[in-house]
Amino acid sequence: MSATLLHGGAIVDPVAGTTAPGDVLIRDGMIAALGPEAAAAAGDADLIDVSGCRVAPGFIDIHTHVFDRPGAASSRLPADRVGVRQGVACLVDAGSAGAATIDEFPTAVHATQRTPAFALVNVGSPGVRDTDGGHSSRPELVSLEATVRAVERHRGWVRGIKVQASHSHTGEYGLTAVAVARQAADRTGLPLMMHIGNGPPALEDALAHLRAGDIVTHAFHGKPGGALTAGGAPLPALVDAVARGVIVDIGHGRSSFAFATAERALAAGLPVHTISTDIHRGNVDGPVVSLARTMTKLMLLGLSVEEAVRAVTVTAARALRLDGDGFGTLAVGRPAHVTVFRVSEEQCTLEDAEGERRVAECSIVPVAAYVAGERFAVEAPI
Ligand SMILES: [Zn+2]
């Protein structure tokens, strides 16, 4: 029997939005005790000093590209590089694979990486092309039946449908792929994540296909035709989508997060429900770098630490039904998926996808991730 006591830190409760001193006892991969009882119940547990740190449910990044196939020239990253090595306990690959390629996901990712990885099936059968661009959502590549069958083959780790609704991925074909993705989501009972960017299609038309529980990613990109009208007000169609329960996701990426857009959107009352990176080889060295840095950017715009943690834990878990796998919250009797992090008060310069730089007064610095109680120290730049 193995046991570890995370001692001397402060526990972040993303549901309550609070942080309070407390220990965490992990035994046999599960949370055995939290708070004042933990030290008393620790017995001969290994003691890990986490004083000065915060202990949170394991961070989840719901928009990544980690379908890294050995031998294939690829923009994708190994999951652990942006997962446990950066303090992230769970990743969702957002449509790197479609019906024609997703059968390779277990051998390429699950068999070689330690970070728990889930996937969204791209309605374009090749998935996102290995290099950026490429019209993965062209009609001849989109198949409702093949997408539904791909989900049915991999129900255990496929948690949604992905569609790219922007000109760079659909060319002149507009909403055809979105309509097929809508049907695939309905047939499989899974949420739909929709990438937005340059039109066509117009954002209003694309958003009309989303229902409660669906996700709009790249929500605060800086291109024309996004979350704000030309006059800078929130797009009414997006306000309506939020009101009916559509989830607003960051999906930073190389060209899909602008401080100016996000700042105006937040000031106008639009929410950030989930924070994700859209991380791949083309942005991991900047401007994205990590989930932690993306969280820090949203904190710079006014989110509290607890709000940023909520966006990568309980909200992310519920959005893609990862809570049933033990992700999203810390509770006695549940798997010990944990992120330990510091809030650094050193100034740091942050760059958005438009090249705008701002200076943050504090930042999230992960120290370690625990996956079912197994510790992974942070080793990659954050
Ligand atoms: Zn992406």
Q: What is the Å distance from ligand 1's center to 196 Cα? A: 10
Q: What is the Å distance from ligand 1's center to 132 Cα? A: 10
Q: What is the Å distance from ligand 1's center to 111 Cα? A: 22
User: Is 201 a residue whose pLDDT tops 70?
Assistant: yes
What are the CA-CA distances from residue 99 to residues 140, 161, 173, 259, 287 (Å)?
Answer: 13, 11, 20, 35, 31
pLDDT of residue 348: 95
Cut 0.75: pTM above it: yes
Q: What is the Å distance from ligand 1's center to 282 Cα? A: 11
What are the CA-CA distances from residue 259 to residues 56, 220, 253, 262, 302 (Å)?
Answer: 26, 8, 13, 5, 12
Q: Which of 252, 255, 368, 379 is nearest to 4 (CA)?
A: 368
Q: What is the Å distance from ligand 1's center to 361 Cα? A: 29
pLDDT over 70 percentage in the chain: 97
Q: What is the Å distance from ligand 1's center to 337 Cα? A: 25
Q: What is the Å distance from ligand 1's center to 53 Cα? A: 31
Query: What sign has the CA pseudo-torsion 322, 16, 273, 341?
Result: negative
Q: What is the Å distance from ligand 1's center to 114 Cα? A: 21
Please report, as a single letter, which amino acid is at residue 270: L
Q: What is the Å distance from ligand 1's center to 76 Cα? A: 10
pLDDT of residue 134: 57
Q: What is the Å distance from ligand 1's center to 236 Cα? A: 25
Token pair listed for 173: 């074909």
Note the pLDDT tens digit of each residue in 16-64. Answer: 999 999 999 999 999 999 998 999 999 999 999 999 999 999 999 999 9
Q: What is the Å distance from ligand 1's center to 55 Cα? A: 29
Instruction: Say which CATH superfamily domain 59-325 falls into.
Output: Metal-dependent hydrolases (3.20.20.140)
Q: What is the Å distance from ligand 1's center to 54 Cα? A: 29
Q: Angle at which helices 259-267 and 291-300 pack, to 10 degrees?
A: 50
Q: What is the Å distance from ligand 1's center to 253 Cα? A: 7
Q: Which sequence spans correspond to the domains of the chain?
A: 3-56+331-351+358-377, 59-325
Query: What sign has the CA pseudo-torsion 76, 80, 86, 92?
Result: positive
Give CA–CA dist 15/314, Å, rounded. Answer: 7
Q: What is the Å distance from ligand 1's center to 317 Cα? A: 18
Given the structure tokens 């728990």, which residue do they identify?
116
| Confidence bin at 174 (pLDDT 50/70/90) | confident
Q: What is the Å distance from ligand 1's center to 129 Cα? A: 11
Note the pLDDT tens digit of each residue in 113-132. Answer: 999 999 999 999 888 876 55
Q: What is the Å distance from ligand 1's center to 221 Cα? A: 13
User: Is 135 a residue whose pLDDT tops 80?
Assistant: no
Rounded to an integer, the average pLDDT of 194-209 is 94
Note the pLDDT tens digit of each residue in 231-263. Answer: 999 999 999 999 999 999 999 999 999 999 999
| Confidence bin at 150 (pLDDT 50/70/90) | very high
Q: What is the Å distance from ligand 1's center to 194 Cα? A: 10
Q: What is the Å distance from ligand 1's center to 149 Cα? A: 22
* The domain over range 3-56+331-351+358-377 is classified in CATH as 2.30.40.10: yes
pLDDT of residue 130: 61
Q: What is the Å distance from ligand 1's center to 22 Cα? A: 37
Q: What is the Å distance from ligand 1's center to 369 Cα? A: 23
Give CA–CA dist 97/92, Å, rounded. Answer: 12
Q: Which of 68, 160, 78, 77 is nearest to 121 (CA)?
A: 160
Q: What is the Å distance from ligand 1's center to 216 Cα? A: 12
Q: What is the Å distance from ligand 1's center to 8 Cα? A: 38
Q: What is the Å distance from ligand 1's center to 314 Cα? A: 21
